[in-house]
Chains A and B, each alone.
Chain A
């Protein structure tokens, strides 16, 4: 009767788990590549000035960013004059009010007074543009601002 006896005995063959790490690494690489840290791609030069009296901007979700500076090389067709960038496109000073309104619409009501506007302005921008932005912010009552800077000192 030994004719029909199984060859390898009755233990189950072990499933090879050697490729499991490869799967995990694949996942890891996929997320590394797919994660985008910055939600705005900048169309302007943004060399921030340095200051020493800085405070951290915590509560990331309560910050609105306004960028300003002269267009970067890839967008040289937009001219050399300093421009404002809201989200992903160039904007005019007049657009700030609607930008703030749309940002406020996405927040809960009790959070609105805590909203901070971070001004990320290039070092070489004229103050004229910055004060135009500030006037516009005053009109819509967005009074908390933050001049975003690098840490350090720019003393000449």
Chain B
């Protein structure tokens, strides 16, 4: 019998397979994106001397021991969102300040109009950042709920969904000016006015 050499396996395409894997992972890997709560600081100029009615201010204080005081009363963090919701959507104003789209109780002792309602957060120097963020998150959440409700009533879709599809490159509404106007409208109806006072 003649000595037969073992047939050589063609390994030339192994490189292609490796490249395929490499490219697949390159494409599918997404580096984690940071996310957080956006906020805007007031410019460093002395604020104009405008009289704000006390009933239009919703004071939230966080003490150095991380206790929550809402309108000078102790409150549990769980009730904060609801309290803020009621305050912002109250719409107790008359005449010029009348709110036509509010669904609140229209209590004359509470805020006039969502565009006038100010949520004021004060904290001590010793307050934990974590508790501040929890409070801030709840307040921002109240605005989101109201914006969603308003958008559902007016445009039959939630505000969160509208914003998402405005930013989504795949959706038909991507950067459409029509949707932008709608988003702007919701934002002007319920502007997020959360003021942060300097700690005492």
Residue numbers of A with Cβ under 8 A of B are 16-18, 20-21, 23-25, 28, 37, 49-58, 60, 63, 116, 118-128, 130-131, 134-135, 137-139, 141-149, 151, 153-156
- Which residues of A lie under 8 Å from residue B198 when comparing CB positions? 131, 135
Chain A residues with CB under 8 A of B85: none
Known contacts A28-B22, A127-B123: A144-B133 contact under CB 8 Å: no
Binding site for A on B (CB under 8 A): 8, 11-12, 14-15, 17-19, 21-22, 31, 33-44, 62, 77-78, 123-130, 132-134, 136-137, 140-141, 144, 196, 198-199
Q: Which of B14, B33, B39, B133 contacts A57 (CB 8 A)?
A: B33
Instruction: A126 to B132: give the CA distance in the assembly, Å.
Output: 10
Query: How far is B141's CA from A60's CA once the two chains are assembled, in angstroms?
Result: 25
On whether the beta carbons of A49 and B134 are closer than 8 Å, the reply is yes
Given contacts A52-B141, A123-B129, A154-B134, contact A146 B18 (CB under 8 A): no
**Shortest distance in angstroms between B138's beta carbon and chain A's nearest beta carbon?**
8
The B interface, classified by DSSP as helix, strand, loop or mixed, is mixed
Given A53-B140, A55-B37, A55-B38, decide whether A155 and B134 contact each other with a Cβ distance below 8 A: yes
9 more A-B residue pairs beyond the given contacts A20-B11, A57-B36, A143-B41, with a C-beta to C-beta distance below 8 A: A24-B15, A49-B130, A56-B33, A120-B34, A127-B128, A138-B43, A143-B40, A146-B39, A147-B133
Taking CB atoms, residues of chain A closer than 8 Å to B41 are: 134, 137-138, 142-145
Inter-chain CA distance A12–B128, complex, in Å, is: 77
